[in-house]
Amino acid sequence: MDSETKKILTRVSIDFLCLVAVGVPSLYLHLFAQPYQRGFFCDDMSIRYPFKQSTVSTVVLYFIGLGLPIIVMILLEVLLVHRRKNAWSPTFIFGKRIPVWVINSYKTVGVFCFGALCNVLVTDVAKYTIGRLRPHFFDICKPDIDCNAAMYKQKYITEFICTSKDNTSYLKDSRLSFPSGHSSFAAFTMVYLALYLQVRFQWQGSFLLKRFFQLCCVIMAWCTALSRVSDYKHHWSDVLVGLFIGTTVSFLTVLYVSQLFDKHKTPFNFHQSGAVSSASNQAMVEKQDLTIQDGVHAAPVELHG
């Protein structure tokens, strides 16, 4: 195995371990942790709504939230390279040159996934720390408390037993209202995709097409957030904070991790953001006068329709 291949595999392995390191804590919380055991007041009507199935299920949320941006990013990187003459990078692995779109897609999708995992971790830590009761808590828990009794009037109740026969996962979930995970994840993925399109989608055949796609992204996130209130899954403040978290993490990822808006980076190089940059690769870049910019670190590439 040549030295360049070893460096690339090392870089990929480190990137993968970083993703795992961010994802494992969230997985641990979901599998083993218990949320803060918050009590309630009997006259709190905000937690007495009926249980409803989600309009946007968790499966649909992750399928669209992850699948749509990743597919769009890869397709756009392929199209951008297709419009250029040099489709091959100066980077080799196992003696074979890597296509430009593969490197660009690796960086683009990798940063997106890292940001998504960070967003999930931030949201889950808040959920398990706060332990706010969902609007349908009473319907799921059915606490063994007679709220008509005088002794419970205006009393904060912390000692009670849920008499519901529902799955224990429902009982645990009923304490995870703040902040809204659906709103947070939808905001991150769709805002990130909108920002990505702002830089990388430069087709000039229509002035409004890119704006239309960006609007669709924002509307999808907004409708997902609104459904969490109408389904009695969250209080409005949970949704508002979830949108704030997702949007904030999205902007931080774009500006400080992906450097998507940085127009002063050198042409693409698999190692350019690390300490293992190859001088021979840089010389090859200069010799070939490559015009394709790195998919994550580059200036916009224009497509003329």
What pLDDT is attached to residue 263?
Answer: 62
A 10 A CB-CB count for 111 gives: 23
Catalytic residue numbers? 182, 234
**pLDDT digits 0-9 by tens, 256-284:** 999 788 764 543 445 444 333 333 444 44
Please state which of the ranges 92-106, 185-199, 203-217, 274-288 shows the lowest mean pLDDT: 274-288
Please state which of the ranges 30-34, 199-203, 282-286 shows the lowest mean pLDDT: 282-286
Note the pTM of the prediction, 2 decimals. 0.84
Mean predicted lDDT score pLDDT of the chain: 85
Residue type for position 156: Y
| Closest C-alpha to 120, from 71, 65, 161, 166 | 65
Residues 6 or more apart from 60 whose CB is under 8 A from it? none
Whole-number Å distance between alpha carbons of 302 and 304: 6
What pLDDT is attached to residue 194?
Answer: 98
Q: What is the mean pLDDT of residues 161-177?
A: 91
